[in-house]
Amino acid sequence: MTADSVSRASVYLLLAIAASRAQATSPQLPIKVNVQGQSGKFTVYPEAKGQQSGIQVTMDALREVDGNGQQVGTQGNNKHSIQTFASQTFTIDPMVMTELKGTPGNVPAAKVAFQSTVSNVGKIGIDTYVLAESGTVGPQNETWAVRMGDLKWNIRIWDWTFCDGSGAGACRSGDTGQYIELDMSVKGLASASTVGNKTIDLGGTTLELSNQVLVDKSTWSMMADGYPSVNVQGSTTTITFRFPKFSNDILYDPVLGTSTLVDGAQATTTTESSSMLVLRASQSLFLAVVAQATWLLK
Confidence (pLDDT) at 263: 60
**For position 298, what pLDDT does the model report?**
55
Integer angstrom CA distances of residue 296 from 7, 12, 94, 127: 8, 11, 35, 41
Which pLDDT does position 276 carry in this prediction? 41
Q: Is the pLDDT of residue 180 over 50?
A: yes
pTM for the whole thing? 0.80
Residue 15 sits at φ, ψ, to 5 deg, of -60, -45
Q: Check whether 266 has a pLDDT greater than 70.
A: no
Q: Yes or no: say if 203 and 211 are a contact pair by the CB < 8 Å rule.
A: no
d(Cα 57, Cα 59) in Å, to the nearest integer? 7
pLDDT digits (tens, 9 = 90+) for 30-70: 899 999 998 999 999 999 999 999 999 999 999 999 999 99
Hey, what's the torsion of the CAs at 281, 287, 288, 290, to 10 degrees?
A: 150
- pLDDT tens, position by position, 271-289: 333 334 334 444 444 444 4
Residue 176 pLDDT level (bands cut at 50, 70, 90)? very high
Q: What is the mean pLDDT of the chain?
A: 83
89-139 confidence digits (pLDDT tens):
999 999 999 999 888 889 999 999 999 999 989 999 999 999 999 999 988
Query: According to the model, what pLDDT value does residue 290 have?
Result: 43
**3-class secondary structure per residue, the chain:** CCHHHHHHHHHHHHHHHHHHHHHHCCCCCCEEEEECCECCCEEEEECCCCHHHCEEEEEEEEEEECCCCCECCCCCCCCCEECCCCCCECEECCCEEEEECCECCCEEEEEEEEEEEECCCEEEEEEEEEECCCEEECCCCCCEEECCCCEEEEEEEECCCCCEEECCCCCCEEEECCEEEEEEEEECCCCCEEECCCEEECCCCEEECCCEEEECCCEEEECCCCCCEEEEECCEEEEEEEEECCCCEEEECCEECHHHHCCHHHHCCCCCCHHHHHHHHHHHHHHHHHHHHHHHCC
Rounded to whole angstroms, what are the CA distances from 160 to 118, 152, 240?
A: 9, 24, 19
Residue 185 and residue 207: Cα distance in Å, rounded? 12
d(CA 119, CA 282): 43
Q: What is the pLDDT of residue 130?
A: 95
Percent with pLDDT over 70 in the chain? 79
- Alpha-carbon gap, residue 292 to 160, rounded angstroms: 48
pLDDT value of residue 208: 94
Q: Which pLDDT score is estimated for 289?
A: 42
The predicted structure's pLDDT at residue 139: 83
6: left (phi over 0), alpha (psi -120 to 50) or beta: alpha
pLDDT digits (tens, 9 = 90+) for 205-229: 999 999 999 999 999 999 999 999 9
Alpha carbon 128 to its chain centroid, in Å, reads 3
